Amino acid sequence: MESTPRLIKSYVAPDGKTPFKTWIKSLKDKRSKARILQRIDRLRLGNFGDCRSVGAGVYELRLSFGPGFRVYFGLAGAEVVILLCGGDKASQQQDIQRAHDYWQEYTSHAD
């Protein structure tokens, strides 16, 4: 099965902030940060790996290291991944709700 390369973009909130970039920059463990960014690079290549839908067009990319990191994203068409936010297993429910809110805002203003 052939993977389709994707364009990776970060969601930009109405206030100009980018929740995913803010989260990734806040991580103190450089090794974990590098592994998360490496996983995002595989998304770019079309390799989604361990991910699942969490409803309403939002997906959870599960990373099995550290505190159980999660990256939340939506798909804008067939070729664009919109990174919404990140978190870990401990904040999973709140992160999913935030991701839903971000995705709803994004899709309500998408062209």
Span 87-98, pLDDT tens digits: 999 999 999 999
Q: What's the rounded mean pLDDT across residues 93-108? A: 98
Structure tokens at 66: 């550290």
Instruction: Look at residue 111 in the predicted model and tell me its pLDDT.
Output: 58
Question: Does 84 map to a domain?
Answer: yes
For 15-58, the pLDDT digits (tens) are 999 999 999 999 999 999 999 999 999 999 999 999 999 999 99
Question: Does 1 map to a domain?
Answer: no
Domain total in the chain: 1
- How many angstroms separate the Cα of 17 from the Cα of each of 38, 44, 84, 85, 87? 23, 22, 11, 11, 17
**Is the predicted pLDDT of residue 110 greater than 80, yes or no?**
no
**Is the predicted pLDDT of residue 1 greater than 50, yes or no?**
no
CA distance 47 to 40: 9
- What's the half-sphere exposure (Cβ side, CA atoms, 13 Å) at 76? 19
- How many angstroms separate the Cα of 19 from the Cα of each of 3, 22, 34, 71, 91? 27, 5, 18, 11, 15
Instruction: Look at residue 2 in the predicted model and tell me its pLDDT.
Output: 61
Question: Does 111 map to a domain?
Answer: no
Residue carrying the six token digits 């990373």: 63
The CATH number linked to 39 is 3.30.2310
Instruction: Look at residue 11 in the predicted model and tell me its pLDDT.
Output: 98
**Is the predicted pLDDT of residue 109 greater than 80, yes or no?**
yes
Q: What's the rounded mean pLDDT across residues 65-83? A: 95
Boundaries of domain holding 44: 7-106
